[in-house]
Structure 1
Amino acid sequence: MNQYNSKATPDDPDRLPPARRRRAHRLLAPVEVDERAAFLDTVAHRASPSFDFFLFSLLAGAVIAGGFLLDAPAILVLGALLSPLMAPAVGVALGTVIGSGRFFFRSLVGLLVGSLLVFLVGWLAGYAVRIWLPLPLTMAHYHAQLSWFNFLVLALGAGLTAAALARSAHSAVLPSVALAYGLYLPLSAAGIGLGSGEMFLWPDGVVVFSLHLAWAAMFGAFTLAIIGFRPLTLFGYTLGGVVVLVGVLLLIGITGAGAVFGAQMALPTPVPTATSTVTLTVTPTLTPVPPTATSTLTVTPTLAPTATETPTPTATPVLALVVAGESGGAHLRAEPGFQSPSLALLANGTLVQVLPGDIVEEGGGSWVHVRTLDNKEGWILATLLATATPAPNW
């Protein structure tokens, strides 16, 4: 009696059906159990945070904060290039797809510590705004807003970084820049907003960072699942489903928070535009007088003008344009002074109405009371306005 001595495992590629064998060759992860475990250990080691990750996060946070203070997009890109390999973000996705709760939370904590360093550097830079002259922080406000282009860049960056890190740690450096750009920039803007006292800047930046992180983890997990990573146990499917569900609920809840709280969260501030209005003028009218007949004379009808009300002259409103130079806009503040909360960021070319009243000197600047076309009233620096005719007391 012949005995078959070879031990075939269910994951042996030579014993798989042809269809499964072809699909296994297209996957990046190994098929055999022992090789799969070793491969997971290798990828998990690459995705673990290291000392270099925290050091370069601190360096990148300083460069990004400087770019926000100078409103220089080139310096912001340089900060993203100096950012470390965003391996912990891929680690969060890896922990989700393989169902390892311990590795998931370890990667998440490492990523949050690096992000906290970026936030603290931005917070310190925000205090510099209070010491120096007031800065418009146009780029900080821009990166604290939701944009579908940023979500697209994050999806591509998360997918390419996860796929590249599964092959080699060095090949994931370039796509990791997109992850750093989408995660670190809004967080640095939030820190600057908290340090400078901007009312809506820091919560908007934190909201954008949270949504970007959930988006990147979800697309990274999808990519790892496509290239062959699977949960090690049945509990892994539960963990992955819970993480995806929480991400979707977070996305829906944050985007609907504006309707719940009656305020815009991480949404662009609408800029009012000037519209032409028709001015009605009063014109005199002629009323015909009916003729009266007599026995000897026939009176022909004559036209006699009737008196009309004379319009009372009203003061012509003084209109001005926001001209802030290279900063791109000016803050409309609730009260005179640089420490007063910002109500809106008015872009260059925005038309405002100068309200009657004296100019207020506060904090080394001259402040003018204005009203925007959407009936927002506030104070703005007189040096940032341009009028066709000088206003009274100006």
Structure 2
Amino acid sequence: MSIPTSEPLLPEDENRLPPARRRRVRRSLLPAGGDERAAFLEQLAHQVTPGYEFFLFTFFAGVVLGVAVWLDSPALYLLAALIAPFLGPALGLSLAVVVGSGRFFLKALSSLAIACLIIFGLGVLAGGIGKAILPGNSLSMPVNFSLFSIPNFIVLGIGVGLANYMLVRSPRQKPLVASVAIAYELLLPLGVAGFSLSYGLPGSWMDGVIVFIIHLAWSALVGSIVLFAMGLKPANVFGYTLGSSIILIGLIAAVLIIGLMMAQPVVVATLPTGTPTPTLTSTLPSQATLPPSPSPSSLPPTFTPTATIQPTFTPTVTVTPQPTPVWARVNAPQSDGAIVREEPGGRALTSLLNGSLVQVISEPVRGEGSTIWVQVRTENGLVGWMVQALLATATPAPAW
């Protein structure tokens, strides 16, 4: 007896399935049917597709970020990340691997690119305004967003992993809390890079852009791994190709990160070794030599020779003691380094990481307000001015 094709087949009883298949069914978060799978993926894609409010809140976040860099305030940096919208397009890059749609991937990428241009453009505008209003202001926080660090990659990985997991578990809810970590590690380095470009902060603004690109590749890689671990495999050849490309880009980014982190010089502040003082020794003649007396037979009877000792000049050597050089190391508790300027509060010459050794070559000088400046010489011979509070002396010195 054949079953009519117009009647739906009943689902298999879970208790009659083999144990291994039963565990796979219980762990599976994706519907087994083709139509149900398509509807599920469509719901996920709808959640990560941005609307007009995505770009509106991106604009507000960029404005707050510009003010945060002006005031060098960590609290406002965090507020900018909180105001930032749900970064669905960033999650859409890894979701496109599962969906297997090139159109969806380009849509997510273009939305994310527009948001990044908004953040970067507002950063450039804020830097130009800040340079006109607050020229030469000492800023310590922006350098943190142009450096690679393991904690930043851990925070970004956790944020992307939680966001993808919560989105698949509850497709009707957006993981807004996890998105804050993603916005902090993606949008803030890009906005600070734009600010550095127009304000003229030390270091290349390209450093912040490179950090953003590598963070973006890392987020796409982590998101793809999490979705694959949850049983969401690519639907077609395009999905596998896109996934392989993301893995390759992630590996290249990892190699770049390791190379750049190893290339950063690590300077250990140590007490300078004493310079031996040269001892000048003057050699005095041990005995005056008398000329030989002529024989009496060769002299007239009335001439008597007299031996006269000529006085020898003995120079007195005076050694002037040199002052002990004052060494200090960069110690900025709220950042990873400090800025060396051409003059107190003037144009930035370079930046030094925490632990860099410098020689203090002047007495403390009070600048604008209550800021105390000292003139220093770096290890490569560059002479400039630094804020005294950001230096820790390695040798005793007065007024420190």
d(CA) in 1 for partners of 2:355, 2:248: 42
- How far off is 1:330 after superposition? 4.6
- Cα distance 1:182–1:10, how it changes in 2: closer, same or farther (>3 A)? farther
Deviates more, 1:274-283 or 1:187-196: 274-283
Deviates more, 1:136-145 or 1:161-170: 161-170
Letter in 2 for 1:319: V
SS in 2 for 1:134: coil
Name the residue aligned to 1:219.
222
Contact 2:148–2:211, Cα closer than 8 Å, also in 1: yes
- 1:370 aligns with one of 366, 371, 376: 376
Contact 2:119–2:191, Cα closer than 8 Å, also in 1: yes
- How far off is 1:251 after superposition? 3.1
Q: For 1:318-333, what aligned pairs fall within 5 Å after superposition?
A: 319=326, 330-333=338-341
- Cα distance 1:31–1:376, how it changes in 2: closer, same or farther (>3 A)? farther
Say whether residues 1:69 and 2:70 are aligned partners: yes
Q: For 1:238-277, what aligned pairs fall within 5 Å after superposition?
A: 238-253=241-256, 255-256=258-259, 270=266, 273-277=269-273
Name the residue aligned to 1:142.
144
Name the residue aligned to 2:3.
4
- Cα distance 1:72–1:136, how it changes in 2: closer, same or farther (>3 A)? same
Letter in 1 for 2:41: L
SS in 2 for 1:168: coil
- How far off is 1:59 after superposition? 1.0
User: Deviations along 1:165-205, whole A, 9 cap, x unmatched?
Assistant: 22235350111111111111111111111111235241111
d(CA) in 2 for partners of 1:308, 1:31: 103
Identify unmatched segments of 5+ residues in structure 1: 286-306
Name the residue aligned to 2:296.
none
- Cα distance 1:79–1:382, how it changes in 2: closer, same or farther (>3 A)? closer
d(CA) in 2 for partners of 1:210, 1:204: 10
Letter in 2 for 1:278: G
d(CA) in 2 for partners of 1:128, 1:164: 41
Q: CA RMSD in A?
A: 4.2
- Cα distance 1:128–1:114, how it changes in 2: closer, same or farther (>3 A)? same
SS in 1 for 2:175: helix
User: Deviations along 1:65-87, whole A, 9 cap, x unmatched?
Assistant: 22222222122111111111111
Contact 1:63–1:78, Cα closer than 8 Å, also in 2: yes
Name the residue aligned to 1:82.
83
Residue identity (%): 36
Name the residue aligned to 1:296.
none
d(CA) in 1 for partners of 2:334, 2:62: 22
Say whether residues 1:28 and 2:34 are aligned partners: no
- Cα distance 1:120–1:270, how it changes in 2: closer, same or farther (>3 A)? farther
d(CA) in 2 for partners of 1:378, 1:231: 58
- Cα distance 1:133–1:198, how it changes in 2: closer, same or farther (>3 A)? closer
Contact 2:203–2:350, Cα closer than 8 Å, also in 1: no
Contact 1:98–1:232, Cα closer than 8 Å, also in 2: yes
Deviates more, 1:224-233 or 1:208-217: 224-233
Say whether residues 1:380 and 2:385 are aligned partners: yes
Contact 2:86–2:176, Cα closer than 8 Å, also in 1: yes
User: Deviations along 1:112-144, whole A, 9 cap, x unmatched?
Assistant: 211221111111121233221422321110121
Name the residue aligned to 2:158.
156
Q: For 1:160-199, what aligned pairs fall within 5 Å after superposition?
A: 160-166=162-168, 167-199=170-202
TM-score normalised by structure 2 residue count? 0.75
Contact 1:332–1:346, Cα closer than 8 Å, also in 2: no
